[in-house]
Structure 1
Amino acid sequence: MRQIRYRGHRPDDLPTLIRLIRTELMPMSHTVSPDDPAVLAELPDRFDSGRTIVAAPEGGPPLGFVHFGQIHSLLHIDMLVVDPASRKHGIGLELMRRAEREGTLGGSLMAVLFVDDVNEKARRFYAREGYEPVRHFPDLKVTQWTKPLRSEGQ
């Protein structure tokens, strides 16, 4: 059985999340390398600066995670990744909806995220979930996407 929980319940959470970032997110980035020691050294602090929800088998290491933060009425989805072997089971969707719900409960009116231009699967996923591209940054090769969030009861 799969559980959704906050990061930190298991000692292998952080190493597993960093592995997922190195293997799944960083290779798509135009601005960082999976072997950049400065970027890797900053990841633990980056996780501490927001909230991270993981999907994991009962008592097991994370299969995927979403990391996000809130600034006033804005929910910033920083990272969402699911291990390739665990995709196509609704994990990414469940994680995203949990982050959006937390944002809504915290007073966020809008969600914002950035997608690397080469990440076509992510672009399709976010479009299906109601996100719209609003601004392209050609030098960084990313696009900003937004989605209005509904308050509870609407």
Structure 2
Amino acid sequence: MIRYATPQDLDTVAALHREARATYYRGHIPDADFEGPAELARSRQGWAAAIDRGNAVLVAERDGEVAGVAAFRPVDGVMTLTQLHVAPARRRQGMGTELHTACVAAWREAGATSVRLEVFEHNERARAFYTRHGWVPDPDEPKSGNHLVLRLAVTAP
């Protein structure tokens, strides 16, 4: 089941985010940059703000537990997918695709015609996922630091 996150989901979402990030950042950037106390506090605060907006965070629930999360919002006038994570133990079960499909529906409803995201350049699994779902390199800004910038054209169903 895909639903909007509630404040009661905050701790679970923050923990899932931490666990997912460790799978692709570890060995590429210092651990403190993704799981140090200051970063974990910043991340939790960001998730709390996103959830408080009410329609910016979707969760995939399986067996009564949050097993995936996606967040999006306009950034400088451009709809942006800021996060999409599935719990590592739940990957390859279709939740990422379900979350992505729900995001596309929300973007259409919001009138977005193009969506942007940044994906860590060493995260080959995520890069392949986004390619399968129609994301392409942003021709105007293909890279931002150690992240690739991708775009998705949102078309009518």
Q: TM-score range by the shorter chain?
A: 0.7 to 0.9
Deviation at 1:84, TM superposition (A): 1.3
CA deviations on 1:54-111 (whole Å, 9 max, x unpaired) are 11125x2200011111358732101000011111111001101111111011100001
Partner of residue 136, structure 1:
143
TM-score under structure 2 length normalisation: 0.81
Q: Which runs of 5+ in 1 are unaligned?
A: none
2:155 is equivalent to residue 150 of structure 1: yes
Deviation at 1:46, TM superposition (A): 4.0
2:74 is equivalent to residue 64 of structure 1: no
Cα contact 1:113–1:146 (8 A) shared by 2: yes
SS of the residue corresponding to residue 14 of structure 2 reads helix
Alignment of structure 1 residues 1-150 onto 2, 5 Å: 3-8=1-6, 11=8, 13-25=9-21, 28-29=24-25, 30=29, 32-37=33-38, 38-43=41-46, 44-49=48-53, 51-57=56-62, 60-70=64-74, 74-134=78-138, 135-137=142-144, 140-150=145-155
SS of the residue corresponding to residue 18 of structure 1 reads helix
SS of the residue corresponding to residue 150 of structure 1 reads coil
Structure (1 or 2) with the greater helix fraction: 2
Cα contact 2:117–2:150 (8 A) shared by 1: yes
SS of the residue corresponding to residue 19 of structure 2 reads helix
Cα contact 2:19–2:88 (8 A) shared by 1: no
Letter in 2 for 1:19: A
Fraction of identical pairs, as percent: 25
Distance 1:80 1:23, change over 3 A: same
SS of the residue corresponding to residue 62 of structure 1 reads strand
Letter in 2 for 1:82: V
Distance 1:28 1:127, change over 3 A: same
**How much is the aligned-residue C-alpha RMSD, in angstroms?**
2.3
Q: Which runs of 5+ in 2 are unaligned?
A: none
Would you say how many aligned residue pairs link Structure 1 and Structure 2?
145
Letter in 2 for 1:113: L
